[in-house]
Amino acid sequence: MSLSRRDFAVRSALTGAGVAIVGSAGVLATAPGGLSSAAAEPLDAAGNGSGAGNGERGTRGYGPLVPDPDGLLALPAGFAYRVLTRSGETTLETGESTPSNHDGTATFEGPRGSVLLVNNHELKGPRANWKHPVPLTEGLVYDPAASGGCTVVEVAGGAGKGGGRGGHVTEWVGIAGTSTNCAGGRTPWGTWLTCEENTDRAGENGMTKDHGYVFEVDPYDRRANRNPKPLKALGRYDHEAVVVDPKRGHLLLTEDASGPNGLLYRWVPPHGFRHGRGKLRGLADDAGVLQAMKCSDSGGRFVDDLSRATRPGTVYGVDWAEVPERDARETDVRAQFGDGEVTRARKLEGMWWADGGAYVVSSYAREDDSPGAPHDGQVWFYDPRHRTLTLKVLLSVNADPSKDGAFDGPDNITVSPYGGLVIAEDGEGVQHLFGATDDGATYPIARNELNLGTPDDPSYSEFTGVVFSPDGKTLYANIQDPGIMFAITGPWRRQR
């Protein structure tokens, strides 16, 4: 059922009014009714809030980032990190190297006070292309030609070396033989949905099976991961992230693709279906309904691309169009829709379920690949109750990414237990973990100091897999290349 103009006006009022862009970041609210008109705090040349770290009312963040003598992570004073895994240096319990190219990550409460982390490895193409692919562990392999997959990292309880939370670290394979495992999502029933951002077919690029699917990985039960089965009901396309609506049972999924730009999808389960461990594996390939998002503005006009929004607080009404052929046997799913049928966006990336809805990232838009205004990042909030999509964060184009200060290219995100969002930067130039508070301030949390280039032409890999421990005391994050997982601890506090 389509939204009428009157229905849309009512629902738009419920989600809050718009506010103006300030500096390089817009305004974020962590609840649908919580938009604020407060201005973002001015940043200095290092990207730090003017009063950050002094504990005074109204300050943001944790203060300036302190350079790391070991050349890995710059953190605020009082914070520390511990390296949990590093490709080429740490090993799995079976003796093979930790796979490279760390990406999306989720945390789970483990036995005896431990923390379990499921970590994607974004490895594309034949195994011979990579020095450290995911090992082909017997019984856990989907396609023996593919190099990607997931590992499970167990960090024992207790204080760890270097200030990082936890003791002994053990790592094992959760799934192997998948391709380009980018992001994914944690389920309410305690598993991880890992997403392939690649649609190679059997016979293409050396693959022996079709790719472009979602797989379920159980961090608690290794037997449940045997004989991996693609969840074909969720479609075959360049998957990025997925979240579960715990009230309605819907799954929301992002697509990172271009030519044409990608879509935001919703999977509606069949009548009477109840989620739970392993239940998705038992579904038929055509179970439920896969749909793509279609937005309209307050005047009822169709919105062709999310880059059309130029102000934080913009609210669109949301309808859903059924996907004609979800396994894309002849035509890519996103290309099955004509003009006026769905709303697209460039680089739909990370998602996180909180506040009764989903935070959704569009990483950037450029003049040559998006029809609207160029930007260096958007974070939207989808409210399923009111069927609205609200722009919470808008990053303007970063004029000089080589300088430390502005942020661009948001990717993986998480909602912080201390308020607002924590965002992994996958942009140009300097790379950060940064926070965005509910009144519009942004602040740095970490800076990647591992230069993969030269002193004259530096190059820094993106951050990925940002997520807090179940108790909220430790922030985990990865540097994708070469593949390093960090545990970050410090004097976290509420960002007011």
pLDDT tier, 240 (very low <50, low <70, confident <90, very high otherwise): very high
pLDDT the model gives residue 1: 47
pLDDT at 402: 86
pLDDT reading at 399 higher than 80: yes
**DSSP state, 49?**
B
- State the pLDDT at residue 321: 98
324 preceded by cis ω (within 30°)? no
- Domain membership of residue 495 (yes or no) is no
* Pair of tokens at residue 232: 């074909």
Q: According to the model, what pLDDT value does residue 434 have?
A: 96
| pLDDT of 369 | 84
User: Residue 165's pLDDT is what?
Assistant: 59
What is the predicted pLDDT for the residue at 404?
85
Identify whether the C-beta of residue 179 lies closer than 8 Å to the C-beta of residue 143: yes
Q: Domain residues for 402?
A: 5-489
Is the pLDDT score of 51 beyond 60? no
- At residue 366, the pLDDT reads 86
Residue 280 lies in a domain: yes
The whole-angstrom separation of Cα 433 and Cα 426 is: 10
Q: Above 50 in pLDDT, residue 48?
A: no
Write the pLDDT tens digit of every residue in 111-159.
999 999 999 999 999 999 999 999 999 999 999 999 999 999 999 985 4
Q: How far apart are CA 413 and CA 28, in angstroms?
A: 13
384 burial level (CB within 10 Å; 0-12, 13-18, 19+): middle
DSSP string for 310-362 = -STT-EEEEEEEE-S-TT-SSS-GGGGS-TTT--BBTTEEEEEEETTEEEEEE
Between 36 and 295, the higher pLDDT residue: 295
Q: What is the pLDDT of residues 348-359, one digit of tens each?
A: 999 999 999 999
Which pLDDT tens digit goes with each residue over 356-380? 999 999 999 988 889 999 999 999 9
Stretch 293-307: mean pLDDT, rounded? 97
Mean of the pLDDT values across residues 157-170?
Answer: 64
pLDDT of residue 487: 97
Residue 324, domain CATH: 2.120.10.30
Residues 44-61, mean pLDDT to the nearest whole number = 44
Q: How many independent structural domains does the chain possess?
A: 1
Please, what is the Cα angle at 21 between 17 and 23, to 5 degrees?
A: 150
Q: Tell me whether residue 406 is in a domain.
A: yes
Stated pTM of the model: 0.89
Q: Tens of pLDDT along 406-442?
A: 899 999 999 999 999 999 999 899 999 999 987 667 8
pLDDT in tens, 5-23: 344 444 444 443 332 222 2
Alpha-carbon distances of 358 from 17, 208, 316, 379, 388, rounded to whole Å: 19, 35, 14, 10, 11
Confidence of residue 29 (pLDDT cuts 50, 70, 90): very low
Q: Over 70: is that where the pLDDT of 37 sits?
A: no
222 in any annotated domain? yes
Residue 288: pLDDT band with limits 50, 70, 90: very high
Q: Which comes out higher in pLDDT, residue 343 or 34? A: 343
On whether residue 476 sits in a domain, the answer given is yes
Specify the pLDDT at position 31.
29
Are the CB atoms for 342 and 292 separated by under 8 Å? Answer: yes
Residue 242 lies in a domain: yes
Is there a domain that residue 111 lies in? Answer: yes
Residue 257 above 80 pLDDT?
yes
- Least reliable range by pLDDT among 1-5, 36-40, 298-302, 327-331: 36-40
* Phi, psi dihedrals of residue 181, rounded to the nearest 5°: -70, 100
pLDDT above 90: residue 55:
no
496 inside domain: no
Q: Three-state SS for 183?
A: strand
Average pLDDT over residues 261-286: 97
Q: How confident is the model at residue 169 (pLDDT cuts 50, 70, 90)?
A: very high
Give me the chain's average pLDDT, please: 88
